[in-house]
Amino acid sequence: MRPRRTVEPPSRPAPQARINDYIRASQVRLIDDDGSQLGIKPTKEALQYAFDKGLDLVEVASQADPPVARVMDYGKYRYEQEQKAKLARKHQTQINVKEIKLRPKIGIHDYNTKKGHVRFLNQRAKVKVTIMFRGRERDHADRGRALLMRLAEDVKEIGTIEMQPLLEGRNMIMVLAPTKSAGASRDAKAEDAQRGEEEVQADGGGEGAAPSGDAEPQPREEAAEKEAGLPAG
């Protein structure tokens, strides 16, 4: 017979669900470890039933009247829940935020360079675009807004506006998020490049065509024929 669980030391956190002797209700709606309904039972009887099977009695729905308790291996249950949580965190997508800074009077060459930095969207990262105003430039915030909207239009295939341009102090900020198609063109280019390399290797790796039967023999072949006493072709 499995011994009843004792009270845990104060240094360890109390269990989130009431189990065994922690259950306060006088009766519970009992569910067996195979999921079958056993009806409403006095808590002491339900506890004894669980202990006789070497398992725990766990209160799974404390708000019900009476509370619902299930027979299970609580240690195994907690372990499985922790593993599921770890797996969920492992597969959780982490969004990075990259930042690029522009000036409201930026030149066309610098603009194109900065626009190229928005390639971070192809890496599934968000891009924070900041317009920095100096002095009286802040009085013409509409220019900064127009520049941000122009950038958003230029990269609309891979980025969409997540946060509209917002003036904060001397800076105006806009956040772009990657679209569903972001990164697809990059993957297609990589596949085309790899396919091209394979074709080049296939062309260069083949052997030269064999000479036809009408081709004249090479000097070394003629010498070999003379030594063998064969008539010259």
Every domain of the chain and the residues it spans: 20-89, 97-178
Average pLDDT, the chain: 77
pLDDT in the model for residue 190: 46
Residue 92: pLDDT band with limits 50, 70, 90: low
Tokens matching residue 206:
């083949």
Lowest mean pLDDT among 21-35, 78-92, 97-111, 125-139: 78-92
Cβ(104)–Cβ(144) under 8 Å? yes
Instruction: Reply yes or no on whether the pLDDT at 130 is more than 90.
Output: yes
The fourth-level CATH superfamily of domain 20-89 is Translation initiation factor 3 (IF-3), N-terminal domain (3.10.20.80)
Domain 97-178: give its CATH code: 3.30.110.10
CA 20 – CA 56 distance, rounded (Å): 6
pLDDT reported for residue 140: 85
d(CA 129, CA 114): 10
For residue 153, name the pLDDT band (cuts at 50, 70, 90). Answer: very high
Q: Give the containing element (helix H, strand E) for 30.
A: strand 27-31
CA distances from 78 to 2, 38, 49, 166 (A): 18, 24, 21, 46
Instruction: Please give, one letter per residue, the 3-state secondary structure of 51-113.
Output: HHCCCEEEEEECCCCCCEEEEECHHHHHHHHHHHHHHHHHCCCCCCEEEEEECCCCCHHHHHH
Residue 137 has pLDDT above 80, yes or no: yes
Give the mean pLDDT of 12-33. Answer: 80
